């Protein structure tokens, strides 16, 4: 299994909703990432978990809350989002420092 699986593929939510994005990999990778990508822009790093501990938080607003319940799962909890948070949210994982990142196909999020 060489895939990173993200669910849901599409999500529409209101500004008062609470939702979660999920990411799963069974490659034994010990680092997992959340990236945000606006239309026609490059991905921007949000969070990195290394060995299930949050190692990088790129000054992301608290309305985004990551969680890594175990080495295979990564969640992104969403609460009170703004319309400008609408974007493609990409999850990725990597085994070691010199290895490539495997990306999921993303969750396309629309905040109304």
Partner 1 sequence: AQSVTQPDIHITVSEGASLELRCNYSYGATPYLFWYVQSPGQGLQLLLKYFSGDTLVQGIKGFEAEFKRSQSSFNLRKPSVHWSDAAEYFCAVGLHQTGANNLFFGTGTRLTVIP
Which residues inside 51-70 make contact with partner 1, applying CB under 8 A?
51, 55-56
Shortest spacing between CB 78 and partner 1, in angstroms: 19
Among 21, 24, 43, 85, binds partner 1 (CB under 8 A): 43
Going along 39-86, which residue ranges are E strands? 44-50, 53-57, 64-70, 73-79
Q: Is residue 27 at the binding interface for partner 1, with CB under 8 A as the rule?
A: no
User: Using CA atoms, how far apart are residues 84 and 69, in angstroms rounded to an integer?
Assistant: 28
User: Using CA atoms, how far apart are residues 98 and 60, in angstroms rounded to an integer?
Assistant: 26
One character per residue 68-107, x = contact with partner 1 (rule: CB under 8 A):
--------------------x-x-x-x--xxxxx-xxxx-
Shortest spacing between CB 27 and partner 1, in angstroms: 14
Q: 96 Cβ partners below 8 Å, 6+ apart?
A: none
């Amino acid at each position: 299994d060489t895939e990173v699986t993200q669910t849901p593929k599409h999500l529409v939510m209101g500004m008062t909703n609470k939702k979660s994005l999920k990411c799963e990999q069974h490659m034994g990778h010990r680092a997992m990432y959340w990236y945000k990508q606006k239309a026609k822009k490059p991905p921007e790093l949000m969070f990195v978990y290394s060995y299930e501990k949050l190692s990088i938080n790129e000054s992301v607003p608290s309305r985004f809350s990551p969680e890594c319940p175990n080495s295979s799962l990564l969640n992104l909890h969403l609460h009170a989002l703004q319309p400008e948070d609408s974007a493609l949210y990409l999850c990725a994982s990597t085994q070691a420092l010199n290895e490539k990142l495997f990306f999921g196909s993303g969750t396309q999020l629309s905040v109304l």
